[in-house]
Amino acid sequence: MPKELWTVAQAAEALSVSEDTVRRLIRGGQLPAYQITERTTRLDPLDVYAYFDSRKKKTDALRRKTRVKGPKEVRGGLNNSGYYPGMKVV
């Protein structure tokens, strides 16, 4: 039985990104793909899911490292920059 391969559009829909992003990931070597003809590229769904899982693990790890500000931790100032009018910047 032949293996099911996805088009760039199907992979983009599964990852919730644009087709250009999928092509960029392929060019960058982050997402393996099969070049069938000069204009036809196909992807293995298992590779797409593996890429998705690797990104999810990375973002989860970053979320655990980063402290999220609560509602009482407001920096204040103009444009939430931490600087107040009249404050001297050294």
Query: Would you say residue 80 lies in a domain?
Result: no
HSE (side-chain half, CA atoms, 13 Å) at 51: 21
Query: Would you say residue 79 lies in a domain?
Result: no
pLDDT of 73 higher than 70: no
Q: How many domains does the chain have?
A: 1
Query: Would you say residue 73 lies in a domain?
Result: no
Query: Would you say residue 1 lies in a domain?
Result: no
pLDDT of 21 higher than 90: yes
Higher-confidence position of 23 and 76: 23
Which residues lie closer than 8 Å to 27 by C-beta, 6 or more apart? none
Q: What is the pLDDT of residue 59?
A: 83
Q: Which of 15, 51, 53 is nearest to 7 (CA)?
A: 15
Q: Which domain holds residue 29?
A: 8-65
pLDDT single digits (tens) 30-66 = 999 999 999 999 999 999 999 999 988 888 888 887 6
Task: List residues bridging with 42 in a β-sheet.
Answer: 34
HSE (side-chain half, CA atoms, 13 Å) at 90: 0
| pTM (2 d.p.) | 0.65
Mean pLDDT for the chain? 83
Query: Would you say residue 18 lies in a domain?
Result: yes
Single-letter amino acid, residue 72: K
Single-letter amino acid, residue 42: R
